[in-house]
Amino acid sequence: MVGEAGAGSTPVDWVQAARQAAARDLVAQLQQQPLVERIILVSPQAAQLAPAGVIPVISAGGPIHVGEHLARLATSYQIERLLYFGGGSAPLLGDAALTQQVEQLAAASQLIITNNQFASDWAGIVPASTLSHHIPRLPRDNTLGWVLSAEAGLPVAVMPVSAASRLDIDTPTDLLTLRLYPHTRPHLRRCLARLPLDTGPLEQAVAILGTPAQRVFIAGRIGPEVWQNLNRVSRCWLRVLAEERGMTSSGRATRGEVYSLLAEHLALTGAESFFARLSSWADLAFIDSRVLWTSLGYDPPAADRFASDLGLLDQIGHPYVAQLTRAAQNAGIPVILGGHSLMAGDMLALCDLVAAQHPL
């Protein structure tokens, strides 16, 4: 499933163009898998995107209900073993790893296999008929792993944590990371090369992570595996505030139950004061801004979120998002803003870059 690519030149358009390019690469990989019997490409632009041998299914533009679509496809095409991918969900998944997931799904009678049980980007489901019993709980793909394992009771298999399993194209920060990563596939590599992306701050971050005794602050939905990888490839002092993992898949965000210690601290001190002092105790910061906004009850549109990630202040309409972004830019150190993928796939990819460029 991949959405419609816009014709404009905004960060939202860039992300969607990259998703479509990654989808083309993934289709080419799937066509080489002997156990994959049919490939169905769902998109408002499916007719243009689907190559020969791929079934195009035209969807409506805008957000869709993933559970409804998948359940309908499983019924219409009599699918017993369904392997679902979002358009930008697996840009670094190698052929051997893909083969392993396909073979595991083909051999199972009951299974949910996914890249992340708590925030799925792709998932293999058998029997696919399970979807029809849990449609209301599956509005988005990131709930697939949790709902179908914890609530539907399917055995769960999770791919080992790595950049290949966790990097999903969701924000401009992902595009910056993939621009630096050496193993992106052809369609995506050409797409990224055409975009006006400033990778300078991220390159600075890699250099700092590769320098011993630097101080790094990380706040957001970071998991222990990412923290372990950072410890493995760097000799930096890490200050980590891990909070609100699974806030979307658990429903806490929808119910207004998200609470962030950092957001409360910012509310007490003011964003400007916090970031003005940041450089006195950190040389680099990674901040999951979505946790902050959600904790405060804000739901800024994608245009504002993405402009914030890229530091494009003149494109941000939401007052608090603009305030936070401006304060981060004035911190005097690199402050990398992003969402869940910054704390997961992007960080793991940066670990790969640090290990390659600054071996211990």
Looking at residue 63, its pLDDT comes to 84
pLDDT-based confidence at 5, cuts 50/70/90? confident
Residue 245 has pLDDT above 80, yes or no: yes
- Give me the mean pLDDT over the 248-275 stretch: 93
**Residue 118 has what pLDDT?**
85
Q: Stretch 227-243: mean pLDDT, rounded?
A: 96
> What is the per-residue pLDDT for 83?
98
Q: What is the pLDDT of residue 326?
A: 98
Q: How many CB atoms lie within 10 A of CB 18?
A: 26
Rounded to an integer, what distance in angstroms lies between the CA atom of residue 203 and that of residue 199? Answer: 6
Q: What is the pLDDT of residues 85-139, one digit of tens each?
A: 999 999 999 999 999 999 999 999 999 999 999 889 999 999 999 999 999 999 9
User: What mean pLDDT is predicted for residues 56-75?
Assistant: 93
CA-based nearest residue to 159, from 117, 208, 103: 117
Q: What is the pLDDT of residue 8?
A: 79
- pLDDT confidence of residue 127: 98
Contacts of 194 (CB under 8 A, 6+ apart): none
pTM for the full predicted model: 0.93
Contact 139, 145 (CB under 8 A): no
Domains of the chain: 11-162 (3.90.550.10), 198-357 (no CATH)
pLDDT in tens, 10-36: 999 999 999 999 999 999 999 999 999
d(CA 106, CA 36): 9
According to DSSP, the residues that pair with 41 across neighbouring strands are: 56
Q: Read off the pLDDT of residues 151-206 as tens digits, 9 standing for 90 and up.
A: 999 999 999 999 999 999 999 999 999 999 999 999 999 999 999 999 999 999 99
